[in-house]
Amino acid sequence: MLDIKFVRENPDIVKQNIKNKFQDEKLPLVDKVIAIDAERRAHIAEMESLRSERNKLSKQIGVLMGQKKIEEAEQLKAKVTSFTERLEYEEKRAKETEEEMTAILMRLPNIIDPSVPIGRDDSENVERERFGEPRVPDFEIPYHTEIMERFRGIDLDAARRVSGNGFYYLLGDIARLHSSVLAYARDFMINKGFTYCIPPFLIRGNVVSGVMSFAEMDAMMYKIEGEDLYLIGTSEHSMIGRFIDTIIPENELPYTLTSYSPCFRREKGAHGIEERGVYRIHQFEKQEMIVVCRPEESMEWYERMWRYSVELFMSLNIPVRQLECCSGDLADLKVKSCDIEAWSPRQKKYFEVCSCSNLGDAQARRLKIRVRGSDGKTYLPHTLNNTVVAPPRMLIAFLENNLRADGSVAIPEALRPYMGVDELIPSC
């Protein structure tokens, strides 16, 4: 959410940012919110004037009563009553215009970083760098669910009967691989100095609206019927929500946190053939990384965080690339974002496995998270998040890149202590 003072003083910048995100339908909102803000401030000014006049009259009434000038005092009391009625009206209108203004500000996109490429949608995202050598073996790689089925490691039919489409049972070595990857990712981030957390998996509506845009909320969140609670789509939601309505001592920054959680997503909309199986599902587990830091440090953390993802995937023999998200592909709260995509030797292309985002002060402003500096003044911190690993999607990349011709799966050295095997999972 943008600061109304910034919008008021920089309407052209806000409008150009809207154009850069190809959301021209929002352009009229800028002038509208500025007009509402002017009305709001007029009501506040009138409130202050009325309070001042009322206080003066109240003092005069006290003097007149002391002088036994009852009639004159009663006349002033009538004026005070009329002032009070006017003040109540102004307070009501100030509150109403504040709510109208906030509702519009919540719809305006955050100001994107100048380094973000301008583009309409994800087809115009820009590849920045590749890591590892993408290979295509000289044997056929089956679809990922077929690989899992060969190990008797997945049961989609039973999951459909129990929960419907978009769910799964993982079994045996595949389930163990799933848990091992999460445990390895946890320790990987702890070794980077991050604090391990397990957050609440249900959050209130004010936290949801504080961490994401309304469009994201509608597409992602499951609501608990009859309660002000939502299932989290990622642990970032409850991890950032942890700081709602707090003032953080500056010397405690940065907070570097890595959190485990199940994730629940509605995944509204139609998806392509490569999103069958366990690629896009309603329930999965994830290890996340979250940073709350000083504004001047956020871009440094952004670079560091996506590189952590690269390092982790490379340690598991999975080639990846960094893809810079263009302006039209950025969610409204994001200042800058990139995807880490893993190589799929079966598809002979890359697909998304991590998403790293710098949200500037947008979430902090919505959630009223402040930092108290050494000078005693408060300011808004910046928040960032990035996927560490999100199996079972990550398992697709792992199985395809570590599959051998005989049907066995090689286990990289980094993962062996977690799997309890020496080098590979033998084929069934």
Tokens of 195: 């604090």
Residue 127: its pLDDT value, please?
97
Q: Does residue 275 carry a pLDDT above 60?
A: no
Q: Please give the Cα distance from 281 to 288 (Å, whole number).
A: 18
Residue 32: its pLDDT value, please?
98
Other CB atoms closer than 10 Å to residue 332's CB: what's the count? 20
CA neighbours within 13 Å on the CB side: how many for 138? 0
Structure-model confidence comparison of residues 191 and 62, the more confident one: 191
Residue 276: its pLDDT value, please?
66
Tokens of 79: 């004026």
Structure-model confidence comparison of residues 218 and 242, the more confident one: 242
Residue 51 burial (10 A CB sphere; 0-12, 13-18, 19+): middle
Of 55, 73, 105, which residue constitutes the final position of a domain? 105
Write out pLDDT tens, residues 392-405.
Answer: 889 999 999 999 99
Please tell me whether residues 51 and 165 are part of one structural domain: no
Please tell me whether residues 265 and 369 are part of one structural domain: yes
Q: Please give the Cα distance from 227 to 341 (Å, whole number).
A: 37
Lowest mean pLDDT among 70-74, 116-120, 288-292, 293-297: 70-74
For residue 251, is it within any domain?
A: yes
Please tell me whether residues 127 and 40 are part of one structural domain: no
**Per-residue pLDDT band at 272 (split at 50, 70, 90):** very low
Please tell me whether residues 307 and 361 are part of one structural domain: yes
Count: domains in the chain = 2
Please tell me whether residues 333 and 253 are part of one structural domain: yes
Provide the CATH number for the domain around residue 68.
1.10.287.40
Please tell me whether residues 180 and 64 are part of one structural domain: no
Dihedral sign of CA atoms 293, 294, 297, 303 in order: positive
Q: Does residue 61 carry a pLDDT above 90?
A: no
For residue 319, is it within any domain?
A: yes
Average pLDDT of 337-363? 97
Residue 428: its pLDDT value, please?
65
Whether 236 and 290 have beta carbons less than 8 Å apart is answered as yes
Average pLDDT of 156-175? 93
Tokens of 268: 């509204």
Average pLDDT of 313-328? 98
% of the chain beyond a pLDDT of 70: 97
Average pLDDT of 294-320? 98
Q: Please give the Cα distance from 212 to 241 (Å, whole number).
A: 11
Write out pLDDT tens, residues 380-395.
Answer: 999 999 999 999 889 9
For residue 110, is it within any domain?
A: no
Please tell me whether residues 241 and 362 are part of one structural domain: yes
Of 53, 77, 105, which residue constitutes the final position of a domain? 105
Provide the CATH number for the domain around residue 273.
3.30.930.10
Q: 241-253 burial, b if ≥16 CB within 10 A, otherwise e?
A: bbbbeeebebeeb
Please tell me whether residues 128 and 47 are part of one structural domain: no
pTM for the whole thing?
A: 0.90
Q: Which positions ≥6 away from 248 have C-beta within 8 Å?
A: 255, 292, 369, 370, 371, 372, 381
Angle in degrees, CA 87, 89, 93, rounded to 5: 115
Write out pLDDT tens, residues 233-270.
Answer: 999 999 999 999 999 999 999 999 999 999 999 876 54
Whether 305 and 264 have beta carbons less than 8 Å apart is answered as no
For residue 115, is it within any domain?
A: no
Can you give the three-state secondary structure of the chain, one letter per residue? CCCHHHHHHCHHHHHHHHHHCCCHHHHHHHHHHHHHHHHHHHHHHHHHHHHHHHHHHHHHHHHHHHCCCHHHHHHHHHHHHHHHHHHHHHHHHHHHHHHHHHHHHCCCCCCCCCCCCCCCCHHHCEEEEEECCCCCCCCCCCCHHHHHHHCCCEEHHHHHHHCCCCCCEECHHHHHHHHHHHHHHHHHHHCCCCEEECCCCEECHHHHHHHCCHHHHHHHCEECCCCCCEECCCHHHHHHHCCCCCEEEHHHCCEEEEEEEEEECCCCCCCCHHHCCCCCCCEEEEEEEEEEECHHHHHHHHHHHHHHHHHHHHHCCCCEEEEECCHHHCCCCCCEEEEEEEEECCCCEEEEEEEEEECCCHHHHHHCCEEECCCCCEECCEEEEEEEECCCHHHHHHHHHHECCCCCEECCHHHHHHHCCCCEECCC
CA neighbours within 13 Å on the CB side: how many for 243? 30
Q: Please give the Cα distance from 327 to 416 (Å, whole number).
A: 41
Write out pLDDT tens, residues 10-55.
Answer: 999 999 999 999 999 999 999 999 999 999 999 999 988 888 877 7
Mean pLDDT of the chain: 92
Whether 166 and 282 have beta carbons less than 8 Å apart is answered as yes
Please tell me whether residues 100 and 128 are part of one structural domain: no
Please tell me whether residues 136 and 101 are part of one structural domain: no
Structural domain boundaries, residue 66 = 4-105
Q: Does residue 310 carry a pLDDT above 90?
A: yes
Of 55, 79, 105, which residue constitutes the final position of a domain? 105
Q: Residue 386 phi/psi, 5° resolution? A: -160, 145
Average pLDDT of 3-8? 97
Q: Please give the Cα distance from 255 to 339 (Å, whole number).
A: 23
Write out pLDDT tens, residues 108-151.
Answer: 999 999 999 999 999 999 999 999 999 999 999 999 999 999 99
Please tell me whether residues 315 and 349 are part of one structural domain: yes
**Per-residue pLDDT band at 273 (split at 50, 70, 90):** very low
Whether 360 and 382 have beta carbons less than 8 Å apart is answered as yes
Write out pLDDT tens, residues 407-421.
Answer: 999 999 999 999 987
Please tell me whether residues 87 and 228 are part of one structural domain: no
Average pLDDT of 62-75? 73
Dihedral sign of CA atoms 205, 207, 212, 216 in order: negative
CA 150 to chain CA centroid, nearest Å: 37
Tokens of 266: 């509605």
